Amino acid sequence: MCGIVGYVGNKSAKEILLEGLLKLEYRGYDSAGFAVINGKNIECLKCKGRVKNLKEDKKIGSVIGNLGIAHTRWATHGEPSTRNSHPHLDNEGKIAVVHNGIIENYVELKNFLLERGYAFLSDTDTEVIPNLIDYYYKLNGNENFLKAVKQATDELVGSYALEIISTHNLGEIIITRKDSPLVIGKGVGENYICSDVPAVLSYTNVFYYLGEREFAVITKNDIKFYNNNLESIKKEEKIVDWENSAADKGNFEDYMLKEIFEQPRKVEDTFNIENLKSLDLPKEYLNDLNKIVIVACGTAKNAGTVAKNVFENLCRIETLVEVASEFRYRNPIIDNKTLAIFISQSGETADTIAALKLAKSKGAKTLAVTNVKGSSITREADYSVYTLAGPEIAVASTKAYTSQIALLTLLAIDFAEKLNRVDSKIIEELRAELPNIGSKINFILENKELYHNIAKDIIENRDVFFIGRGIDYAVAEEGALKLKEISYIHAESYSSGELKHGPIALIEKGVPVIGIITDEDLVEKSVSNMQEVISRGAKSIVVTNQEIESDNFDYIINIPKINKLLSPILSVIPLQLISYYAAKEKSLDVDKPRNLAKSVTVE
């Protein structure tokens, strides 16, 4: 989704802004633009399409200055076009604004401004903002620009992260936010602004996270923070310990491939027991729980479905998994005896954050499982624990998924040890497996030729089915999501036993069915389900760690044996790579699939 970068210092702002925008390309966008203060004027350059179009624009040479704001836009209001891309200016061209989020009452505000003689050049919701600031600035007798910004934002309904520059306050960038992230990177004699840390990680690792409805006025030597009453406040510096190179592709062709291959280390890092030190949920509290609710979106939700199996097995607590966008709009039955866990790689997903606020308002304790320290979700949750996946740049989540499962498993083990409801041997056996998991993932990664061949064999198909039982079904869900989102092949997941209740009607000659079979208690049943589709002509592909007759299947992917509850961390790897190669074979942009955004900060 939209990305924001800002710079004030002594260097050429446009170089830093453009480099920052390139680093945010992974978020998904359809147009880009930036504005700098050139002497006493605002210079603006915008384009439809990629950031490289800005770089190649003939006018770029004349856009000079040491202070500027920049944006990649993911269209919500108005088609992707130069006219609709940000920054947007007020009618006099003295105030420029970039905006992430959605202004829900923009029609009302636009009418208000139209009645007062303002004109609009774009179809966006954003364009009301610079004009509204102008309106208030004039109402204040052309004084106190910050106050005018506050007055204007007081009128906004919806979500926003805003960067504002103006010829009324030369040398300053004003930022503010509500329900959309914005961070400030601190430099020496220069400061940076960004929606996501990787944009400026090559310049600084010292960050300030702006809170809800707070303001910051940023100059090259100073950063001043204010609350929503414009009273001065102090903010704590946060050091981000991600290596700068972590946000580069290294020797890999794509971020996604790099991130898939990082999984052995990232999973092991996340399993590091130190990870849960900060979390102290006492035995008495856990004993009193009536349920756990896991809420998330997309791949994070799929990791939640795996975790449901683990929590129920080890802790014997009923565990529900909910899609955040649904959960937030119903009246879920939760109370102070519910532990609500919210999983989000980015920590910025609008629906997940709203769901967390709802759970909190109903008295549940809330726990965030995220990859990004200081992200919005961590500021809302009662507790936060972190996956150690490092920055995930590819839109399709891979290492975050396996790291989420690792962390949630660790959490379930911690709870189980306190609850003592299952035989301690089960926990011991599980713990004993953890140190070897990285080498088992490495073993699976070595088989890439097989995954590539399978990918080549399925790319002409219209539909692919993923099936499994129990915890394998949870992985089937993720396999189907990965394939559809990056290769654009229609993919569905079903629990194997459910096939004959309808979906089997879709199986005909050559339709690929990928079965995941790792649960030794269910092997025979799962194999029978595969036989049912084979006898209807399906192309059969099996991912397994069980001894099953390979002659029956078109492809068999053997993965190492592991405790059933950990098997998703292994069985998902071939599925990630099949999707990856399918997308590559179709010459698609695996890192930036169409219509998708990395961080979904609007609902």
Q: Which is nearer to ligand F6R, 349 or 571 (CB)?
A: 349
Distance CA 224, CA 235 (A): 9
- Identify whether the C-beta of residue 17 lies closer than 8 Å to the C-beta of residue 34: yes
Amino acid at 578: I
Task: Encode 547-560: b = buried (16+ Cβ within 10 Å), e = exposed.
Answer: ebeeeebebbbbbe
Distance CA 526, CA 467 (A): 9
| x-or-dash string of contact with ligand F6R, 465-484, rule CB under 6 A | ----------------x---
Segment lying near ligand F6R (by CB under 6 A), choices 264-272, 305-313, 339-347, 544-552: 339-347
Is residue 539 among the annotated active site residues? Answer: no
Segment lying near ligand F6R (by CB under 6 A), choices 176-184, 259-267, 272-280, 294-302: 294-302
End-to-end CA distance of the chain: 11
DSSP-assigned states of every residue in 245-262: GGGS-TTSSSHHHHHHHT
C-alpha of 152 from chain center: 30
According to DSSP, the β-strands at 383-386 and 365-370 are parallel
Q: Where are the beta strands (DSSP E) in 80-155?
A: 88-89, 95-100
Report, in Å, the least distance between residue 402 CB and ligand F6R: 12
Return the number of other C-beta atoms located less than 10 Å from residue 272's C-beta: 12
Q: Which is nearer to ligand F6R, 152 or 300 (CB)?
A: 300
Q: Pick the binder of ligand F6R from 191, 204, 313, 344 (CB under 6 A).
A: 344
Report, in Å, the least distance between residue 149 CB and ligand F6R: 29
Does 298 contact ligand F6R by CB under 6 A? yes
Is residue 2 among the annotated active site residues? Answer: yes
Q: Which is nearer to ligand F6R, 300 or 381 (CB)?
A: 300
Does 346 contact ligand F6R by CB under 6 A? yes
The structure tokens 């320290």 sit at 373
State the catalytic residue, choosing from 23, 48, 308, 598.
598
Segment lying near ligand F6R (by CB under 6 A), choices 4-12, 64-72, 80-88, 341-349: 341-349
Return the number of other C-beta atoms located less than 10 Å from residue 329's C-beta: 13
**Burial zone of 18 (CB within 10 Å; 0-12 exposed, 13-18 middle, 19+ buried):** buried
Q: Pick the binder of ligand F6R from 84, 131, 345, 579 (CB under 6 A).
A: 345
Nearest to 42 by CA among 21, 68, 17: 68
Does 485 contact ligand F6R by CB under 6 A? yes
Task: Encode 95-129: b = buried (16+ Cβ within 10 Å), e = exposed.
Answer: bbbbbbbbbeebeebbebbeeeebeeebebbbbbb
Which contiguous run of DSSP H or E holds residue 557? strand 555-558
State the catalytic residue, choosing from 2, 47, 194, 297.
2
Does 299 contact ligand F6R by CB under 6 A? yes
The structure tokens 């290492």 sit at 399
C-alpha of 187 from chain center: 27
Report, in Å, the least distance between residue 480 CB and ligand F6R: 11
- List 295's β-bridge partners, or say none: 322, 342
Show contacts with ligand F6R in window 541-600 (CB under 6 A): 599-600
Distance CA 132, CA 546 (A): 65
Show contacts with ligand F6R in window 349-378 (CB under 6 A): 349, 352
Does 195 contact ligand F6R by CB under 6 A? no
Report, in Å, the least distance between residue 563 CB and ligand F6R: 25
Report, in Å, the least distance between residue 372 CB and ligand F6R: 8
CA atoms within 13 A on the CB side of 220: 14
Q: Pick the binder of ligand F6R from 300, 405, 437, 455 (CB under 6 A).
A: 300
Report, in Å, the least distance between residue 593 CB and ligand F6R: 9
Q: Pick the binder of ligand F6R from 267, 293, 297, 341 (CB under 6 A).
A: 297
The structure tokens 């040398």 sit at 171
Q: Which is nearer to ligand F6R, 337 or 594 (CB)?
A: 594
Q: Which is nearer to ligand F6R, 9 or 347 (CB)?
A: 347
Does 403 contact ligand F6R by CB under 6 A? no
Q: Which is nearer to ligand F6R, 349 or 518 (CB)?
A: 349
Report, in Å, the least distance between residue 266 CB and ligand F6R: 15
Distance CA 451, CA 559 (A): 12
Report, in Å, the least distance between residue 303 CB and ligand F6R: 8
Show contacts with ligand F6R in window 488-527 (CB under 6 A): none
Distance CA 40, CA 44 (A): 13
Size of the site for ligand F6R (CB under 6 A): 15
- Identify whether the C-beta of residue 159 lies closer than 8 Å to the C-beta of residue 102: yes
Distance CA 593, CA 531 (A): 34
Report, in Å, the least distance between residue 356 CB and ligand F6R: 11
Distance CA 498, CA 11 (A): 62
Structure-derived torsion over alpha carbons of residues 109, 111, 117, 121, reported in degrees to the nearest 10: 80
Q: Which is nearer to ligand F6R, 32 or 297 (CB)?
A: 297
Q: Which is nearer to ligand F6R, 109 or 474 (CB)?
A: 474
Report the residue closest to ligand F6R, judged by CB: 298
Q: Which is nearer to ligand F6R, 181 or 470 (CB)?
A: 181
Show contacts with ligand F6R in window 73-112 (CB under 6 A): none
**Burial zone of 49 (CB within 10 Å; 0-12 exposed, 13-18 middle, 19+ buried):** middle
Does 4 contact ligand F6R by CB under 6 A? no
Segment lying near ligand F6R (by CB under 6 A), choices 80-88, 343-351, 435-443, 539-547: 343-351
Q: Which is nearer to ligand F6R, 396 or 541 (CB)?
A: 396
Report, in Å, the least distance between residue 338 CB and ligand F6R: 21
Q: Pick the binder of ligand F6R from 102, 103, 257, 396 (CB under 6 A).
A: 396
Q: Which is nearer to ligand F6R, 84 or 344 (CB)?
A: 344
The structure tokens 């919210």 sit at 342
The residue ranges that bind ligand F6R (CB under 6 A) are 297-300, 344-346, 349, 352, 396-397, 481, 485, 599-600
Catalytic residues, by residue number, are 2, 598
